[in-house]
Amino acid sequence: MSRTKCLIVDDEPLAIEVLKSHIQKLDSLEIVGTCADAIEAFDFLKSHEVDLVFLDINMPEMKGTDLVKTLKNPPAIVFTTAYREYAIESYDLNVLDYLLKPISFERFLQAVEKYNQQNVLIEEVTLHKNNGDSECIYLREKNVIHKIPVIEILYVESFGDYMKLHTTDREINSRCTMAALEKALPEKAFVRVHRSFLIAINKVTSFSPVMVAIGDKEFPIGTRYREKTFDKLDFNSFLNK
């Protein structure tokens, strides 16, 4: 079984040692690096494979929250901080967990279990090609496996660890994360416009600087998703006029 590659980012040596001690108690985890600030971590992530980052928020030069905003495809993030007031901002960034210092081993284990559960959920949805020309996904809903042609998917709506997939003729509720489905679906055909919405690009019928629509259904464009949304939907040539 492959081990989960962990990166620790913190400007406090003692905090790093606590997390190192926790990680080393679990055979399923592996420390691939430690960084003293967010800038060092940014460079590390560009050149190393990392599955899970334990990231301090309040650091000099660049906060951990700002680092997450710069990463286009971040690994799983667990914020570690002594300050409760960052909780709302971290939730908006859709990170895996939020640990308050001092971090007990019990609470650390809860965060690791969340990561493990998320990886199991990724197996709940798979993408297949039929005869090399059409694509479909197989998505689990309770004890039933649905075969869904990708071309029929309109959008996906997230509800925490559950999501609702809307097609041209049905709705499917599944215990699956948005991250898992986003990873399984063809990147060129879908775009995440908001923390809670993933939409089919070729189904968009109208748009504005703050929303996109598929028929009568409107979706807000989240701030952190705006640039990618505009690029993938080629909005800039219209909205900049």
Average pLDDT over residues 211-240: 84
Q: Tell me the one-letter amino acid at 76.
A: A
Domain boundary among 61, 87, 122: 122
Give the model's pLDDT for residue 161.
63
Query: In angstroms, what CA-CA distances link 197 with 26, 119, 124, 211, 227?
Result: 35, 20, 19, 11, 15
Average pLDDT over residues 124-144: 66
Q: Tell me: do 87 and 25 sit in the same domain.
A: yes
Domain span at 152: 133-239
- Residue 233: pLDDT band (50, 70, 90) is confident
What CATH number is attached to the domain comprising 76?
3.40.50.2300
Give the model's pLDDT for residue 107.
96
Average pLDDT over residues 77-96: 77
What CATH number is attached to the domain comprising 180?
2.40.50.1020
% of the chain surpassing 70 pLDDT: 85
Give the model's pLDDT for residue 12.
96
Q: Tell me: do 92 and 152 sit in the same domain.
A: no
Q: Tell me: do 23 and 104 sit in the same domain.
A: yes
Q: Tell me: do 107 and 162 sit in the same domain.
A: no
Q: Tell me: do 8 and 115 sit in the same domain.
A: yes
- The answer to whether the CB of 54 falls within 8 A of the CB of 100 is no
Q: What is the DSSP string of 108-119?
A: HHHHHHHHHHHH
Q: Tell me: do 40 and 145 sit in the same domain.
A: no
Give the model's pLDDT for residue 116.
84
The answer on pLDDT for 131 being more than 70 is: no
Cis peptide before 209 (omega within 30 of 0): no
- Residue 79: pLDDT band (50, 70, 90) is very high
Q: Tell me: do 111 and 163 sit in the same domain.
A: no
Q: Tell me: do 154 and 100 sit in the same domain.
A: no
Average pLDDT over residues 214-240: 83
Total domain count, the chain: 2
Q: State the chain's mean pLDDT as an integer.
A: 86
Q: Quickly list H helices, the chain.
A: 13-24, 38-47, 64-70, 87-92, 105-122, 178-184, 226-233, 236-239
Give the model's pLDDT for residue 135.
84
Give the model's pLDDT for residue 32.
97
Look at 8-17, 47-56, 154-163 and tell me which has the smallest mean pLDDT.
Answer: 154-163
Q: Tell me: do 98 and 148 sit in the same domain.
A: no
Give the model's pLDDT for residue 241.
47
Q: Tell me: do 116 and 152 sit in the same domain.
A: no
Reported pTM: 0.56
Helix, strand and coil in the chain, % to nearest 5: 35, 35, 30
Give the model's pLDDT for residue 96.
86
Average pLDDT over residues 70-83: 87
Is residue 89 in a domain? yes
Give the model's pLDDT for residue 124.
56
Domain boundary among 72, 93, 122: 122
